[in-house]
Structure 1
Amino acid sequence: MGGKTARGMKRRDILAGLAWTAGGLIAAGGRPARADLVGHGAMVNAVAVSPDGRRLLSASWDYTVRLWDLDRQVELKVLDGHAASVNAVLFLPGGNQALSGSWDQSIIHWDLETGREIARLAGHVNSVSGLALSRDARLLASASWDRTARLWDAASATPLRSFEGHSANVMQVAFAMEDAQLVTASYDQTVRLWQVASGKELAALRGHRASVNAVAVTPDGRTALTGSTDGAIKRWDLAAQQEIAGLPGHRGFVTSLAVSPDGRQALSGGGDKLMRLWGLQTGRQLRQFAGHEKPVWSVAFTPDGRRAVSGGYDMVIKIWSLATGQSLPPKT
């Protein structure tokens, strides 16, 4: 992910590898590690679990989206349609369709049964770095390195409005406050709140001392968690538009966040090669998960809240038991 599009660049140049600095990503080497789900040829940027908890989607710097059987931990399909790194992925309700966002500036709507492209959403002029769906699945929000977030009609793929105000790359976006607001995280070190209906900026939340890489919102829509290159995870009261408290523990940058379906726990991934589980009522770390050989780049809960998924810079995906902290073997 850089400041320009990857169209026309050779795939081997992209797959040479990446490393994180306070300013972004730079070239680095790397080899795949031994892990549960292996198949991607580069770092795993994003993971998403299907609504029924049976399948997994992963997005990678190898330009592909992959569909997996979560229990058997086997690859089902490779969705190959992007012309650059795929940075974000999510399932649509029902689990038979998906969306992915890429450094090629596009968002692809996929049919997971056939593996074919249904539609392509165009409008961003730089890397699409994050995607979020409203609770009723009628609205799609996208975050981009063109310094904007955009709102789309999810059914028709029609662009509705743009949210402009950040002074640097927008990394992730989430719906909040009963889908009346958007929360965006940016390299400009701010977290911003927007009115969905008008596109108006409501607040700029300041407190991070480096790029804000990740945002997740609790199911009630009232609390946001943000993770930064400064190593901090902050919690924000969105109604009061102020910081509540942090979740201290990571050593180095924080890459990814997820909130459990019941809103009681959170997952974070970081440059310390660990995924961490937090209790949101106490703000305490409940468990840490060690097994990746390089930074943990993406995290997700399963819908039942009993398992977690992590994707890493080491090109692999792991499935974890939240109760034991152990990596789970395939079910036979």
Structure 2
Amino acid sequence: MNMQRLAAVTALILGLAGHAVPVRAEMLGHGAMVNAVAVSADGRRLLSASWDYTVRLWDLAKQSELKVFDGHTASVNAVAFLPDGKSALSASWDHTVIRWDLNSGKETARLTGHVNNIAGMALSRDGRKLATASWDRTIKLWNLSTNAVEHTFEGHQANVMQVAFALEDTQLVSVGYDQTVRLWSVASGKELFSLTGHRASVNAVAVTPDGKTALTGSTDGQIKRWDLLEQREIGSLPGHAAFITSIAISKDGRFALSGGGDRLMRLWDLKDGRQLKQFAGHEKPVWSVAFTPDGKRAVSGGYDMVIKVWSLETGAQIPAPKS
């Protein structure tokens, strides 16, 4: 190796100081931050949504891109598989939700009604209803058979950031910039109660499979646990050193994942609130997290435009198989 080449290699290594040099264990393709990730029910495919206005479908085992869905005209902030595994939904800052045929890549329906950015969405367990959270300060409940709005939930005093179904899909939990956690009746569209405790905007919410406990994450760096039946805070998950962007709960309800501005994804034991692992590898904030259905892997999407797959047992990134 000549001296010029040695100097170049040395400069590259020094330029990476402070960051772990990653193995090839990431999915590249998006041209901007990855806002959301969702894993299919069989664990074989992944959907991602990005600030680059696209939705992408991936083979999770191969970590390879299968399809790109173009149609939104602004950042795509949420994505979900429908239970049939043949269709998907995406929600965007263009104020719309698009339904996609995963085989053809074509748009099959578009839901309109919000008058500002849609920041988050949640599907009912049977896939018949969709809840969307918007910067127009409302949540809308949609009937996916008719694509019609069944209820518009009003009460938040600022942007609504995320929503989740709770208590056997009879209620909704929403969070927003007004620092509140609100519970709503799906049947009546009425607010049931509001919870306070965060000291800054609340960006993320996830509900345990039994529907009785919610986790919320805030710009204040706190993850709080709420008993939805008793309507009170029951604990917190301390550890992140910056804002919380996303939370996911495992299918069995035993564990949670969180992502934040500290560039880390963290794994929590929900029985006692202990942090079990932290996953370092993103060069910028972790913006989205998800479990695989078998609970053995996790997926994270970042502001650094990459998607990473992790082993929950070892805490290591899972490299893509050699082609």
1:100 & 1:197 partners in 2: Cα distance?
24
Q: Which runs of structure 2 are paired with 1:1-332 in the superposition (5 Å)? A: 36-331=26-321
Structure 2 unpaired stretches of 5+: 1-21
- Contact map agreement 2:49 2:79 (CA 8 A) in 1: yes
Stretch moving more, 322-331 or 273-282? 322-331
Q: Is the 8 A contact 1:252 1:272 kept in 2?
A: yes
Alpha-carbon distance in 1 for matches of 2:314, 2:165: 31
Q: How many residues align?
A: 300
Secondary structure of the equivalent of 2:235?
A: strand
2:253 & 2:77 partners in 1: Cα distance? 25
Q: Distance in 1 between matches of 2:126 and 2:60?
A: 25
Letter in 2 for 1:243: E
Runs of 4+ displaced beyond 6 Å:
none
Paired with 1:149 and 1:137, the residues of 2 have a C-alpha distance of 17
| CA deviation string 1:159-211 (max 9, x = no partner) | 11100000000000000011111000100000000011011101110000000
The one-letter code matched in structure 2 to 1:175 is F
- d(CA) in 2 for partners of 1:66, 1:156: 26
Distance in structure 2 (CA, Å) of the matches to 1:136 and 1:222? 18
Cα distance in 2 between the residues matched to 1:93 and 1:238 = 26
The normalised TM-score by structure 2 is 0.92
Q: Any idea what SS the aligned residue of 2:95 has?
A: coil
User: 1:35·1:316 contact (CA, 8 Å) conserved in 2?
Assistant: no
Max radius of gyration: which structure? Answer: 2
Taking a change above 3 Å as real, the CA distance of residues 63 and 234 of structure 1, as seen in their structure-2 partners, is same
Residue in structure 2 matched with residue 13 of structure 1 by the alignment: none
Letter of the structure 2 residue corresponding to residue 67 of structure 1: L
TM-score, normalised relative to structure 1 = 0.89
Report the Cα offset of residue 94 of structure 1. 2.4
CA distance in 1, matches of 2:27, 2:297: 15
Q: What secondary structure sits across from 2:74 in the alignment?
A: coil
Query: What letter is aligned with 2:299?
Result: V
Percent of counterpart pairs with the same letter? 73
C-alpha displacement of 1:96:
1.4
Distance between the aligned counterparts of 1:127 and 1:299, measured in 2? 21
Q: Which moved more, 1:314-323 or 1:127-136?
A: 127-136
**TM-superposed deviation, 1:35:** 5.3
- The answer (yes or no) to whether the contact 1:311–1:317 under 8 Å persists in 2 is yes
